[in-house]
């Protein structure tokens, strides 16, 4: 595997994992506006 191959693989995985982590962190830890207003989970 070439250095560029490592760069592409790790960058792609890093981008996707960062996005997934950010999204699920926001979804699971901060209730949405609608849920906040009703006190619903």
Partner 1 sequence: MTNGRPTEQWASRVGVILAVAGSAVGLGNFLRFPGQAAANGGGVFMIPYFLAIIFLGIPICWAEWTMGKYGGQFGFRSCPAIFGVLGRRPVWRYLGTLGLLIPVVIYMYYVLIESWCLAYAWSYLTGSIDLGSDPTRYAENSKQFFADSVGAEADGVLLNESVHSGVFFWIIVFTLNFFLIYRGISKGIETFCRWAMPAMAVCAVIVLIRVLTLGTPDPSLPDQNVINGLGFMWNPKPGANGESWLSPLSNPQVWLAAAGQVFFSLSIGFGIIINYSSYLRRKDEIVLSGLTASATNEFFEVCLGGMITIPAAFVFLGAAGAVGGTFGLGFNTLPVVFEYMYGGRVFGFLWFFMLFLAAITSSLSMLQPVIAFLEEGLGIARKASVTLLGMITGMGSFFLIYFSKNSLALDTMDFWVGTALIFVLAMVQVILYAWVFGVEKGFQFASEGADLRIPRVFKFVIRYISPTFLLVVFVMWCWQKLPERIEGMKEEGMEGAVLALGVIGAVLICFLILVHLAGTRWRAESRDTSPRDELPAFTKETP
Binding to partner 1, residues 1-41 (CB under 8 A): 1-2, 4-9, 11-13, 15-17, 19-20, 23-24, 26-28, 30, 32-35, 37, 41
Q: 19 to each of 9, 24, 41, how far by Cα in Å?
A: 16, 9, 23
Judged by CB under 8 A, the number of residues near partner 1 is 28
Q: What share of the chain is helix, strand, coil (3-state, %, to 5)?
A: 80, 0, 20
Residues that bind partner 1 (CB under 8 A): 1-2, 4-9, 11-13, 15-17, 19-20, 23-24, 26-28, 30, 32-35, 37, 41
């Amino acid at each position: 595997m070439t250095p560029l191959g490592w760069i592409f693989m790790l960058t792609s995985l890093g981008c996707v994992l960062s996005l997934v982590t950010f999204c699920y962190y926001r979804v699971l830890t901060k209730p949405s506006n609608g849920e906040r207003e009703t006190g619903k989970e």
